[in-house]
């Protein structure tokens, strides 16, 4: 990639002009990593001038590992009837929420498998009771595909399920389950989950109703640069409609104990991650926040990510079971997290699920 081309992209990005697909392709495949990172950092400071990095105190419990969708990349799920299958009662889930609340959490990100035995009322009760018993906690519950499962089980449309969740008190959705929003990739790694629109439709309907959500991306398996660009184009386009995404959150695939493991020979290092993050900051010009995935990429990579365009450190994730099932574990305390952000040269600030600052350290 010539310096002239990079300079053109630099002028566009800093001049507030949208990057096109050719620009995105060059950045993903050819741009020198450190220059790309420096440009992403400049754009981050042009949009968010304060040297503040936010984080949320949260936990990520799971209500069931029963799932009928058989995604190739998933080490977490068990088929119905499996000896290791579990489904928590409403009270058992609320005990996990109580434990998060005792540790100072303001967000609980609750997800689970696609368990056809659970009625809609189960999910609604979880939201209602979390709101009633733990007003300090935002129920950041249920990814797009779980909401589709609720629609199938109840016979309601996706929009009607979202209306019921809203009535129960829910206002935000996690962005998991996007993986790579490309027909080709989704057919290969999660054929039963539907194409990109299965995920996009739920977020489109949610944003229309006033919900906020995040957009995630799990890369590092069978995708190529075109698939990544399909993904970025899809979420950028949707964000233009209602602006309902608060942040973009990429992480790399963890192959341990998954059906895809045999295909993925090489464990990806931090460089592809930093490139992905920097490209996202430049390409997703309508996303307010880009999250550093300290959890899945490592704390040092998380610190470097703050110099590659990220402005948020994500959550404390007091409980996490999905990566753990792939033999990947990482933990952090609030004190350590504050130190890591400071060490990287930023002021740490605790935020809510929707990015309001609660406290600056
Ligand atoms: S990723 Fe989710 S939907 Fe896919 S198999 Fe795992 S639990 Fe089921």
- What CATH class has 48-360? alpha beta
Q: Which atom of ligand 1 is nearest to the CA of 67?
A: 8
Half-sphere exposure of 153 (CA within 13 A, CB side): 18
Distance 67 CA to ligand 1 centre (A): 6
The position carrying tokens 């109580």 is 98
48 touches 61 (CB < 8 A): no
The whole-number pLDDT of residue 263 equals 66
Give residue-wise pLDDT tens across range 157-191: 999 999 999 999 999 999 999 999 999 999 999 99
The whole-number pLDDT of residue 133 equals 98
Pick the range with the lowest mean pLDDT from 82-86, 312-316, 330-334: 330-334
Cβ-in-10-Å burial (0-12, 13-18, 19+) of 288 comes to: middle
Please name the residue whose Cα sits nearest to atom 2 of ligand 1: 113
Edge-to-edge strand order for the sheet containing 52-56?
312-315, 52-56, 347-351, 357-360
pLDDT at residue 320 greater than cutoff 90: no
Angle (CA) 357 244 163, round 5°: 110
Half-sphere exposure of 131 (CA within 13 A, CB side): 16
| Distance from C-alpha of 51 to C-alpha of 91, rounded to nearest angstrom | 42
pTM of the model as a whole: 0.95
Average pLDDT over residues 196-213: 98
The whole-number pLDDT of residue 318 equals 85
pLDDT at residue 306 greater than cutoff 60: yes
Distance 133 CA to ligand 1 centre (A): 29
Cα end-to-end distance, the chain, whole Å: 42
Domain boundaries, given as residue ranges, for the chain = 48-360
pLDDT band of residue 23 (cuts 50, 70, 90) is very high
Please name the residue whose Cα sits nearest to atom 7 of ligand 1: 113
- Ligand 1 pocket residue status of 69, Cβ below 6 Å: yes
CB-based contacts of 315: which residues, under 8 Å, 6+ apart?
55, 56, 57, 58, 59, 60, 107, 109, 295
The whole-number pLDDT of residue 159 equals 98
DSSP string covering 18-56: PP-HHHHHHHHHTS-HHHHHHHHHHHHHHHS-S-EEEEE
**Mean pLDDT of the chain, nearest integer:** 94
The whole-number pLDDT of residue 326 equals 79
Q: Which atom of ligand 1 is nearest to the CA of 70?
A: 5
239 touches 206 (CB < 8 A): no
CB-based contacts of 51: which residues, under 8 Å, 6+ apart?
345, 346, 347
pLDDT band of residue 322 (cuts 50, 70, 90) is confident
172 touches 354 (CB < 8 A): yes
The whole-number pLDDT of residue 19 equals 98
DSSP string covering 310-321: --EEEE--SSB-
Q: What's the gap between Cα 309 and its chain centre?
A: 16
| Phi-psi group of 264: left, alpha or beta (phi > 0 → left; psi -120 to 50 → alpha; rest → beta) | beta
- Ligand 1 pocket residue status of 222, Cβ below 6 Å: no
pLDDT at residue 278 greater than cutoff 80: yes
Average pLDDT over residues 308-337: 87
Distance 116 CA to ligand 1 centre (A): 13
200 touches 175 (CB < 8 A): no
Length in residues, the chain: 361
pLDDT at residue 268 greater than cutoff 90: no
Angle (CA) 156 159 165, round 5°: 85
Under DSSP, is residue 107 helix (H, G, I), strand (E, B) or coil?
strand
- Ligand 1 pocket residue status of 71, Cβ below 6 Å: yes
pLDDT at residue 267 greater than cutoff 70: no
């Amino acid at each position: 990639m010539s310096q002239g081309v990079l300079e053109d992209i630099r002028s566009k990005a800093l001049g507030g002009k949208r990057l096109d697909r050719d620009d995105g392709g060059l950045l993903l495949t050819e741009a020198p990593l450190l220059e790309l990172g420096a440009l992403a950092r400049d754009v981050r400071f042009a949009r968010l001038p304060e040297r503040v990095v936010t984080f949320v105190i949260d936990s990520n419990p799971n209500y069931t590992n029963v799932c009928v969708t058989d995604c190739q990349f998933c080490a977490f799920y068990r088929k119905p009837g499996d000896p290791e299958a579990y489904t928590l009662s409403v009270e058992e889930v609320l005990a996990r929420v109580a434990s998060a609340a005792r540790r100072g959490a303001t967000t609980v990100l609750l997800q689970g498998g696609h368990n056809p035995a659970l009625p809609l009322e189960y999910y609604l009760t979880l939201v209602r009771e979390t709101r009633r018993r733990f007003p300090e906690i935002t129920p950041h519950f249920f990814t797009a595909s779980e909401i589709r499962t609720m629609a199938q089980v109840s016979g309601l449309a996706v929009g009607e399920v979202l209306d019921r969740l809203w009535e129960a008190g829910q206002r935000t959705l996690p962005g998991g389950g996007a993986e790579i929003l490309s027909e080709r990739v989704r057919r290969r790694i999660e054929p039963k989950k539907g194409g990109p629109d299965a995920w996009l439709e739920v977020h489109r309907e949610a944003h229309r109703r006033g919900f906020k959500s995040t957009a995630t991306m799990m890369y590092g398996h069978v995708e190529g640069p075109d698939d990544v660009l399909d993904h970025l184009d899809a979420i950028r386009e949707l964000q233009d409609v209602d602006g309902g995404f608060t942040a973009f959150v990429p992480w790399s695939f963890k192959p341990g104990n998954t059906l895809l493991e045999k295909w993925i020979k090489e464990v990806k290092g931090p460089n592809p991650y930093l490139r992905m993050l920097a490209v996202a900051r430049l390409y997703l010009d309508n996303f307010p926040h880009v999250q550093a995935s300290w959890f899945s990429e490592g704390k040092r990579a998380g610190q470097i990510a703050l110099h590659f365009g990220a402005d948020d450190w994500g959550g404390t994730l007091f409980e996490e079971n999905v990566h753990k099932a792939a033999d990947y574990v990482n933990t952090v305390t609030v004190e350590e997290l504050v130190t890591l952000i400071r060490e990287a040269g930023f002021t740490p600030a605790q935020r809510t699920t929707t990015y309001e600052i609660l406290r600056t350290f």
